[in-house]
Structure 1
Amino acid sequence: MVRFKNRYFLCEIISEDPRCRQFIEERTVHNTVKNVVAKMYGDFGLACCSIAFTVKYLNAYTGIVLLCCRKDFYRLLWSSLPFITHLENRNQSCPCSFNTLRVGATIRSCQKFLIQYNRDQLLLLLRSCTNEADREAIQKSLQSCALVGEQPTESKDEEDSDGSTETA
């Protein structure tokens, strides 16, 4: 059995009007990216990228998108992303662009990068903060975005009061 390798694109949707991002759906991003690949590389590029192309994650509030495609053709998709100029949803055209933050081999590597990226963005906000209430809210957000280690599980052996162990 052959395992197909994928590449994951962690992208940020940059728009002038932040209200436009609230109306973005996965279907809209999927269709727009496929149309741009078709425009850049024709039917061949569209067929290559359509084999396993999916939108794995979309956060409309932060504008973060995680795209997945086959490893063999990821350069076609990667080179097409800068040519996205707008997203259309419900007959509304939202001017925007895609900023590729990371190209990773696993979703987990992209998630780790995204946590560190968000942490860095919060640190930048903290430096430019003038209000004490805002400063405390940002510090609380910084503490909440740390990776939490696994809690140690209790062993199956329990100690008696005299120090001997009892097995189940």
Structure 2
Amino acid sequence: MVRIKNRYLVVNYLYPHGNGQSNNKDLPGALEFHQPTPDDFHEGRLITAIRNGVTELFGDYGLGMVSTSLKVNYHSTATSTSIIRCPQKHFEMVWAALTFMTRLPKPIDVPVVIKVVRVSGTIRKAEEDVIRRAKELVLRAKTGDSRPGDDQILRDVVKTVAKRRENEVLLGDEEEEAEESESD
């Protein structure tokens, strides 16, 4: 008998511009990006988004390899955390699809940075890490502390994503103008 081996990805959702639910500017630095996920974003939408991302990046081959054991074991909108089970040999494909997601799926359509914070071989260790991180976040929110460089690193990532998005829009506009001039 062959045992199917999986990996468990612990994922955090960070909202650089807020999540659309609350516009409170008085949040402590630790909670500025760690806001609750919208309630409309559930396990089904997450799985669909991952499958679409894997298909876009790796085609039907990637989707076939990943779909064998893709499952959301845990999803909390309050802590903006998920645990995703995926095949051991192809967990990098799921990781890549999550990394390239810049917005939540269409009905919600909120800018997001998805951060894989741990890859584990057992669900137990992944759950322990989620609990530890939630306790740390609550403690940091109570004391108003943040780790040195945390906010700056995230701000740099957000700026980079925004610049890429602007470049894509500009390149798209230039291509449309070139096509229009060619057709004239």
TM-score (norm 2): 0.64
Measure the CA separation in 1 of the matches of 2:110 and 2:75: 16
Shift of the alpha carbon at 1:88?
Answer: 2.3
Work out which of the two has the higher radius of gyration on C-alpha atoms and give 1 or 2.
1
Q: Runs of 4 or more off by more than 2 Å in structure 1? A: none
Aligned to 2:5: 5
Q: What pairs with 1:1-168 in structure 2 (closer than 5 Å)?
A: 1-15=1-15, 16-17=18-19, 19=21, 21-88=38-105, 91-128=107-144
Could you tell me whether the CA contact under 8 Å between 1:23 and 1:60 is conserved in 2? no
- In structure 1, what residue type is equivalent to 2:14? I
Shift of the alpha carbon at 1:126?
Answer: 2.7
CA pair 79-88 structure 1, distance change in 2 beyond 3 A: closer
Identify, as 1 or 2, the structure richer in helix: 2
* Deviations 1:113-158, CA, capped at 9 Å, x for gaps: 11211222122123228xxxxxxxxxxxxxxxxxxxxxxxxxxxxx
Measure the CA separation in 1 of the matches of 2:47 and 2:20: 20
Please, which runs of 5 or more residues in structure 2 have no aligned partner? 22-36, 146-184
**Structure of higher RCO (CA pairs closer than 8 Å, 6+ residues apart):** 2
CA pair 60-18 structure 1, distance change in 2 beyond 3 A: farther
- In structure 1, what residue type is equivalent to 2:111? P
Measure the CA separation in 2 of the matches of 1:122 and 1:87: 25
Shift of the alpha carbon at 1:65?
Answer: 0.9
Measure the CA separation in 2 of the matches of 1:114 and 1:35: 26
Shift of the alpha carbon at 1:36?
Answer: 0.5
Identify, as 1 or 2, the structure richer in strand: 1
Considering only aligned residues, what root-mean-square deviation do their CA atoms show, in Å? Answer: 1.7
Aligned length: 128
* Deviations 1:89-134, CA, capped at 9 Å, x for gaps: 5x342222211111101111011111211222122123228xxxxx
Measure the CA separation in 1 of the matches of 2:133 and 2:123: 15
Could you tell me whether the CA contact under 8 Å between 1:86 and 1:93 is conserved in 2? yes
TM-score (norm 1): 0.70
- In structure 1, what residue type is equivalent to 2:8? Y
Aligned to 1:160: none
Aligned to 1:144: none
